[in-house]
Amino acid sequence: MLNQRIHQQSIELALAKVPDLSETEIMECLYQVIARHRENEVASRGANAMQVDSAADLPSLASFLSSSMRYTATPAALRSAMRHSLRDAEDILCILKVIENWILRWMSKDIRMLPSKKDIKNDEHGIPVFKPRAKEEHKDLPPLEKVTINSSSLLTG
């Protein structure tokens, strides 16, 4: 399904809404995104480099990884699909660079361990009750738990 027509919006929509995508399909699509990413890196390093192809129809590596990490996948099937699709160390390094960037961004965020006064409201009896605020949603930054789970799948695969 993902490989039939590689288009950024269709891929993001499929990863957000289709509940039964196989891990193999996701990893095959990731392989194509990485291949385009590496082609663009090589082209941008060349002295007289021209743009290889219009990559507007293909999501960036970070965007695809972010969407795919939010997708619920079985860790064992994910590791198997990674072993099958990602055989080149350079492909894995591209992914690790994106993951490293995400982890650095998460480390720079202010993560509260205890609730602030804004998170505590008095109920109808005057008893302080924890009322958490809505979580900040970062479209380009997947949840740290998903990053670590998928990183371990990548490294142990």
Tell me: pLDDT of 132 over 90.
no
**7 and 56 in contact (C-beta within 8 Å)?**
no
Tell me: pLDDT of 5 over 70.
no
| pLDDT over 90 percentage in the chain | 24
Other Cβ atoms within 10 Å of 69 Cβ, number: 19
Residue 40: closest CA among 27, 29, 56, 28: 56
pLDDT tens readout for residues 84-108: 988 899 999 999 999 999 999 988 8
The pLDDT assigned to 99 comes to 94
Query: Band of the pLDDT at 144, cuts 50, 70, 90?
Result: confident
Tell me: pLDDT of 62 over 60.
yes
Query: Band of the pLDDT at 151, cuts 50, 70, 90?
Result: confident
pLDDT tens readout for residues 112-121: 677 788 888 8
| pLDDT over 70 percentage in the chain | 82
Among the residue ranges 4-8, 22-26, 43-47, the one predicted with the least confidence is 4-8
The pLDDT assigned to 131 comes to 82
Residues in a beta bridge with 155: none
Tokens at residue 100, please? 């490293």
Q: Which long-range contacts (CB under 8 A, 24 or more apart) does 146-154 make?
A: 146/69, 146/70, 147/69, 147/99, 147/102, 147/103, 147/106, 149/75, 150/69, 150/78, 150/99, 151/96, 151/99, 153/75, 153/78, 153/79, 153/82, 154/82, 154/86, 154/92, 154/95, 154/96, 154/99
CA 35 vs CA 1, 5, 40, 43, 122: distances in Å: 19, 16, 9, 12, 55
Other Cβ atoms within 10 Å of 63 Cβ, number: 17
Query: Band of the pLDDT at 3, cuts 50, 70, 90?
Result: low
Mean predicted lDDT score pLDDT of the chain: 82
